[in-house]
Structure 1
Amino acid sequence: MDQKQMRWFTVGLIAFNMVWGLGNVVNNYSQQGISVVTSWILILALYFIPYALIVGQLGSTFKDSNGGVSSWIENTMNKRLAYYAAWTYWVVHIPYLAQKPQAILIALGWAVKGDGSFVSGMSVQMVAIISLVIFLLFLYLSTKGLSTLKVIGGLAGTAMFVMSILFILLAVGAPFMDHTMEIATQDMTNIKTYIPKFDLSYFATISMLVFAVGGAEKISPYVNQTKNPAKEFPKGMILLAIMVGVSAILGSIAMGMLFASDNIPADLMTNGAYSAFQKLGEYYGVGNFLMIVYALTNTVGQISALAFSIDAPLQVLLADADKEYVPSWLRQRTAKGTLKNGYLLTGILVSIIILLPIFGIKNMDELVKWLTNLNSVVMPLRYLWVFLAYMMLNKAFKNYQNAEYKFMKNPKWGYVIGLWCFAFTAFACILGMIPKIPYGSEGWWFQMISNIVTPIVFVALGMILPAIAKRERKN
């Protein structure tokens, strides 16, 4: 059977499931309020569509490469930079892994108690210790293989996707079901309500938008599986952009109907999605049913994401690691093939991030905001390699004419678009380091220093390994 049977709408749907989730809507609404609608339109047009199409051309050009971004860098530049690309892909998952145990605790709390009091009643120290225990348990279980959990996680991911769409449909339909429903945000029919104030605090929130629409490089293996890549893939990506746009805009409007844009609750990032489903359950007369379904689905989804994200990025870094850059002790496997020292390094770094808030964060809501913000600063660093590979591809355009799909046929314009996406991502990451709490308030300096130091330490660690490997080879 011919592998090239995928149609553009299938590619679009697969990509949407990979990229999108309700958390993207809640997190960005909590940062910007209803004006985030305008931000979504701008980010999709100026960043997300070119990003997805760039990934398409890279995937099509290097269709036989298995390493994703690091393979693209190796082909367009050199092995050393390919190692750094693989390192970046792995190390940016450290804060992501540190946040998952908290997300599991919050989801379980809502499922069992029906409100956010389970976690908010704990001290930051207690949350950190319980989160550390949860993480270490899953780190241990990951060394044993978690294929069953990954299957369940796939189902949970699909269920979460369905819940995200259901949230929009239910929220938009709520005023028709319950005529007594009061819209929380005033003047939602006035276009001025949606215009952001373009100041420093606004630009400091852009990293969260970049973080939300990132991850399109996961789509690259599907480019050459489409029936006619040159025509079908861009169609699929435009469908993806439309679906993300509709979900983001309608989801943000739905949030505006439920939570006042000028008086955003302090715990919205922590509890917003659960509160939203709880409110919708009241309007539809089903009590806490919708919230409990969402909480249970999210619990399983977060557990699976934790298990999968311990192992998968580590395999990207170490599966075909070059001994020139990665010391032998890090590449060591057990008889069962487990990367034991890779797991140990993951465990040490994630444990540090989990315990770090004990020294500078006083409550649960600030903890969730800080870790989400840290992820939005660190995670987009891996996208920089995608745009760098695309710039280099266009620089040596004559050598790469084999791609069945080309986003830009003019290499000069291709280079400019790659440079724009690279610069925009770097700009978002740097400004994203500014804490989202008032300057001078308790914990401001802790958040600022940790947001700057964390990526620097991650990069420095990556630079130490080749030096150790070089010394090892000499000995």
Structure 2
Amino acid sequence: MNKEKENGYSISFWGFITIIFLTVYAIANSEQVYYQMGYASITYILIAAALFFVPYSFIVAEMSSAFKDRKGGIYSWMAESVSEKFGLVGTLIWYGAFVVMWFSASTICVSLSVALFGKDTTSTWHIFGLSSAQTLAIIGVIYIVIASFLTTRGLKSISFLSNISMLTIIIIHIIIIGGGIILFVKSGFKFAESFDYTKVSSYFYGPNKDYASFLPALSFMVFSIFTFAGMETSCGLVDQVKDAKKNVPKAIIVSTVIITALYILVILILGVVCNWSDTFGKSGVNLANYSVYIYQQEFYRLGTVLGLSQSSSIALGEWVNRIIRILTLIGLTSVPIRIYTPIKHMFEGLPEGMIPKSLQKLNKNNMPANAILFQTCIIVFFIMLLGFGGDSVSALFDKMTLMTFVSGTVPISFIIYAYIKFKLNDNIKKDYEFFSKKGGIIWGSICFAVVTFTNIFSIIEPALNGNLDDTFWVALGPVLFGVLALILYKKYEKSHENIGDLKHSPVNS
């Protein structure tokens, strides 16, 4: 039965666009790609939008509508289209991406430092004779333990805090984009960063020496793909959209245009605000603190065009940085929800016996406390391992960021592969289709090739340059959780006396 009829309401066209926007868009994505690739990042954003975001959005919308009555979310998509084994591996790697994300918990220290001092001083932090990287690891562990403990207290006591987090995001956008527009007008519509339109290379290589040649620039695609990730969450609601056949495709196209245009707008505003070499061409800038330098430069320049003295302009930059970081810290009130959500999606809908029962057990607050504890132990172990691995703070933060981005895009390949099998299986009932069978297979294959090749290359690229250590860490998340899934499935398989009951082949619907 259609949920619209069951619930008595439906999601409007613009309502669905809003859901997509809140799921996919983040201003930090624009800031990060500008830091890494300058204006050239616009080229990669456009490629990712055309060859990934649009087809992937239709892919997950089709699968979500076909399996809307299944409880297991993306696990159901993959298990029904391919097999339970494939579904468990893909889902656990997807879940692992959220766990790997928390390996970078130590980056909270950057926000703490800027909130207190107006600038990033984390490279000088030392406690108990430990190095700065080790010190930050200890603080990151304390942070994740406290957040996990609060998560076990129940949704009722923490869910209202998410509204505070959303408000801080809106305020930060107003400050950054508003300040950039005022600076652009007051400076006579001039860009701080120049662009040579006559050189083809300017469209593919930025000022960052780390991405100034073909192979590293190619590996940058994983970041541009990640900026559009998350549609599998939004499209779980397609069956509740009013007149879905008409409105879902339109909403996806309109959302693509809005999000892509906004990313490009922010990148251009950053070009107004920051001369790349002056802002980032110094030691100590990394993937955890680059935004500190953006805001400092933006509001220092804004102060000067408004007639403030040099010292007052510097102070303005520091205080705006403080305000933004304080808002960021307030926004961390949503962390317990973000810790709990992937656990819920990971364990909900899996067949009985596929994962240990203890991980599904709920405490008196109706929270899976054992699963949260297990997840916290994994995160703490790797935070400590990374922090005490001998890297500098900048190298540590850069490694953590790359791990997060690769881990976050690898599961997408599993979902797209399942979609190709889904289109080939005529026995699976499809409520409605955005692609024809042939078109879906073609677009699915293109999307799969783009995402999979980008991930493989991002993993091996450091090794090609002689940095085996980075390749190991970047590949660790997907490999670790993939192996764990195979172990769990083997145990699940052995626990069944009648192996033929297991779904080694796609399930007919």
* TM-score (structure 2 length as normaliser): 0.83
Alpha-carbon spacing, 1:385–1:454, altered in 2? closer, same or farther (3 Å)? closer
- Per-residue deviation, residues 107-126 of structure 1 (Å, max 9, x unmatched): 22212211112465451000
8 A Cα contact 2:148 2:372, kept in partner: yes
Structure 2: tracts of 5 or more residues without a match: 127-131, 206-212, 304-312, 498-509
Q: Does 1:10 align with 2:15?
A: yes
Q: Which moved more, 1:107-116 or 1:294-303?
A: 294-303
Structure 1: tracts of 5 or more residues without a match: none
The percent of aligned pairs where both chains have the same amino acid is: 19
8 A Cα contact 2:75 2:350, kept in partner: no
- Per-residue deviation, residues 423-468 of structure 1 (Å, max 9, x unmatched): 221112111225679945xxx3322222233422221111112334
Matched position secondary structure for 2:153: coil
Structure 2 counterparts to residues 29-428 of structure 1, below 5 A:
29-99=34-104, 101-118=105-122, 121-122=125-126, 123-161=132-170, 163-164=172-173, 167-179=176-188, 183-187=191-195, 192=200, 194-197=202-205, 199-261=214-276, 264-265=280-281, 267-285=285-303, 287-288=316-317, 289-304=319-334, 306-397=335-426, 399-403=428-432, 406-408=433-435, 410-428=436-454
CA distance in 2 between counterparts of 1:423 and 1:124 reads 37
CA distance in 2 between counterparts of 1:280 and 1:149 reads 35
- Supply the AA of the counterpart residue of 1:142: T
- Supply the AA of the counterpart residue of 2:342: P
8 A Cα contact 1:377 1:432, kept in partner: yes
CA distance in 1 between counterparts of 2:364 and 2:155 reads 17
- Supply the AA of the counterpart residue of 2:39: I
- Give the CA deviation at 1:317: 2.0
- Per-residue deviation, residues 362-399 of structure 1 (Å, max 9, x unmatched): 32222221111001111112212321232122112464
Alpha-carbon spacing, 1:308–1:293, altered in 2? closer, same or farther (3 Å)? same
8 A Cα contact 1:119 1:127, kept in partner: no
- Give the CA deviation at 1:330: 3.2
- Give the CA deviation at 1:277: 2.7
- Give the CA deviation at 1:469: 4.0
8 A Cα contact 1:103 1:302, kept in partner: no
8 A Cα contact 1:63 1:221, kept in partner: yes
CA distance in 1 between counterparts of 2:159 and 2:276 reads 38
Matched position secondary structure for 2:288: helix
- Give the CA deviation at 1:103: 3.4
CA distance in 1 between counterparts of 2:196 and 2:180 reads 14
Alpha-carbon spacing, 1:373–1:345, altered in 2? closer, same or farther (3 Å)? same
Aligned residues: 465
Alpha-carbon spacing, 1:126–1:151, altered in 2? closer, same or farther (3 Å)? same
Alpha-carbon spacing, 1:186–1:415, altered in 2? closer, same or farther (3 Å)? same
- Supply the AA of the counterpart residue of 1:294: I
Q: Which moved more, 1:363-372 or 1:319-328?
A: 319-328
CA distance in 2 between counterparts of 1:61 and 1:343 reads 31
- Supply the AA of the counterpart residue of 1:86: T
8 A Cα contact 2:17 2:254, kept in partner: yes
Matched position secondary structure for 1:332: coil
8 A Cα contact 1:36 1:196, kept in partner: yes
CA distance in 2 between counterparts of 1:413 and 1:183 reads 43
8 A Cα contact 1:208 1:376, kept in partner: yes
CA distance in 2 between counterparts of 1:84 and 1:390 reads 16
CA distance in 1 between counterparts of 2:369 and 2:10 reads 40
Alpha-carbon spacing, 1:213–1:39, altered in 2? closer, same or farther (3 Å)? same
CA distance in 1 between counterparts of 2:37 and 2:197 reads 18
- Give the CA deviation at 1:196: 0.7
The structure with the larger Rg is 2
* TM-score (structure 1 length as normaliser): 0.88
Q: Which moved more, 1:69-78 or 1:237-246?
A: 69-78
Alpha-carbon spacing, 1:344–1:393, altered in 2? closer, same or farther (3 Å)? same
Alpha-carbon spacing, 1:333–1:4, altered in 2? closer, same or farther (3 Å)? closer
- Supply the AA of the counterpart residue of 2:324: Y
- Per-residue deviation, residues 61-117 of structure 1 (Å, max 9, x unmatched): 222233221121233233333333332222221111222x32322222212211112
Matched position secondary structure for 2:386: helix
CA distance in 1 between counterparts of 2:98 and 2:338 reads 7
Alpha-carbon spacing, 1:399–1:118, altered in 2? closer, same or farther (3 Å)? closer
- Give the CA deviation at 1:208: 1.3
8 A Cα contact 1:168 1:250, kept in partner: no
